[in-house]
Amino acid sequence: MKILIVGGGMAGTILANNLARRLHGELRSGKVKLTMLSASDKHMYQPGLLYLALGRMTPDELYRDQAGLLEPGIAFFVDPVEEFQLDQNRVKTKSGTVFDYDILVIATGSRAAPELIPGLAENSETFYTEESAVKMFRKLQAFQGGRVVIAMGVPHKCPMAPLEITFMLHDYFKDRGIRDKVQLHYTYPIGRVHTLENVAKWAAPEFERLGITSETLFNIKEVDGAAKVVKSEEGSEAPYDLLISIPAHRGMEVIEKNKLGAGGWIPTHRHQLTMEGRKNVYVIGDTTNLPISKAGSTAHFEAEALGENIAAIVKLGSPVRDYDGKVFCFIEAGKDRATYAMFDYQNPPDPKAPTKAVHWFKMAYNKLYWVSARGLL
């Protein structure tokens, strides 16, 4: 049986390693062949970009060689897919190579797309690539005071990032001794400060306590860089001296080009993780159209469920479990306190008061991630 994983990010890597362990014997005997195709020979720990933007991590800490993260037995090629020929059970790569499969997993991820909003890319700082996070760090270092506006597009990767960057900026400016010269103004697309009601109930009074102003029902329409104003779809305007944006995301272009899903999001069964209309094509990570967080933990839990199911298909002929929508997100509440939100399709989160212990666990996880990617944690 040929299992082909397209995408070497968190979802694809955890799945590949999970399967390599579960199917160790089958890989050794040649009964199963496991192949990964990726666009890069490097693997980035994307949550680290938040810390990079604030000078608390350096670029080299974000990367490992992808090949070094993979279990023996996984055939790995840096050769991105350009054509998905699903009716023929095969893909064609940039090099022109054709890979056929019995089971295909698509985990190509998503990308920030600031170009979708007029003026956003040129006039805001963001932290969704190494280059932009380093640029934001330098901009923050040079900033001596004024009005900082945080604004975001929808959907965006890591729904906790807007809150985290806001709380962390508060401490960043406080540590520099210029918090009294900085007005932090947080905007949010819906009618409360976070989409998770319980998180919003905690964050709103925190904002008030820390002197952070907020404005809800604010969806970025355009940025006027000359006037230094962000305009919203709802008709309001937010003047800024420094604009921090969390751009709307899109799935990868190859998904749209192959007409697998509008916006690059592939229609996916919420429990089985199959692509709609396809029995042997699975989708995990940011690439799905599922109404759950585009976050590393989502990718992680989907990959674990799918790993168990694909191994069961090989060994028993059918999957054995459903993905239940599980997500776990840390929430940094400043430079040294954090909480978390855990939820699934049935159960809402109930975040507790932030503690130093959870923050230090998050700091530890920033290192433990590499164990997680190897499928060990």
- Binding positions for other proteins, rule: CB under 8 A: 116, 154-155, 159, 189-191, 195-197, 217, 219, 233-235, 248, 262-263, 270, 291-293, 325, 327, 329, 341, 343-346, 348-349
- Residue 92 forms beta bridges with which residues? 83, 98
What is the rounded distance in angstroms from the CA atom of residue 233 to the CA atom of residue 146?
25
Q: 30 or 191: whose CB is closer to other proteins?
A: 191
Shortest distance (Å) from residue 316 CB to other proteins:
28
What is the rounded distance in angstroms from the CA atom of residue 326 to the CA atom of residue 349?
11
| Joined tokens for residue 125 | 């700082």
Q: 100 or 197: whose CB is closer to other proteins?
A: 197
What is the rounded distance in angstroms from the CA atom of residue 272 to the CA atom of residue 23?
20
Q: 232 or 372: whose CB is closer to other proteins?
A: 232
Q: What is the DSSP letter of 119?
A: T
The size of the chain, in residues, is 377
Shortest distance (Å) from residue 226 CB to other proteins:
25
- Contact (CB, 8 A) for 139 and 317: no
Shortest distance (Å) from residue 347 CB to other proteins:
8
What is the rounded distance in angstroms from the CA atom of residue 269 to the CA atom of residue 324?
11
Q: 197 or 237: whose CB is closer to other proteins?
A: 197
Sign of CA dihedral 34, 251, 63, 362: negative
What is the rounded distance in angstroms from the CA atom of residue 151 to the CA atom of residue 243?
7
Shortest distance (Å) from residue 304 CB to other proteins:
19
Shortest distance (Å) from residue 44 CB to other proteins:
23
Q: 16 or 341: whose CB is closer to other proteins?
A: 341
Q: 22 or 362: whose CB is closer to other proteins?
A: 362
Task: Work out the burial of residue 200: count CB atoms within 10 Å of its CB; fewer than 13 is exposed, 13-18 middle, 19 or more buried.
Answer: middle
What is the rounded distance in angstroms from the CA atom of residue 98 to the CA atom of residue 343?
40
Shortest distance (Å) from residue 153 CB to other proteins:
9
Shortest distance (Å) from residue 147 CB to other proteins:
24
Q: 13 or 268: whose CB is closer to other proteins?
A: 268
What is the rounded end-to-end Cα distance, in angstroms, of the chain? 27
Number of neighbours of residue 179 by Cβ within 10 angstroms: 18
Q: 232 or 366: whose CB is closer to other proteins?
A: 232
What is the rounded distance in angstroms from the CA atom of residue 202 to the CA atom of residue 194?
10
Q: What is the DSSP letter of 354?
A: P
- Contact (CB, 8 A) for 121 and 114: yes
Shortest distance (Å) from residue 86 CB to other proteins:
22
Contacts of 81 by beta carbon, 8 Å cutoff, 6+ apart: 6, 37, 91, 92, 93, 94, 108, 254
Give Cα 174 to chain centroid, integer Å.
28
Q: 180 or 234: whose CB is closer to other proteins?
A: 234
Shortest distance (Å) from residue 300 CB to other proteins:
16
Q: 105 or 341: whose CB is closer to other proteins?
A: 341
Shortest distance (Å) from residue 232 CB to other proteins:
9
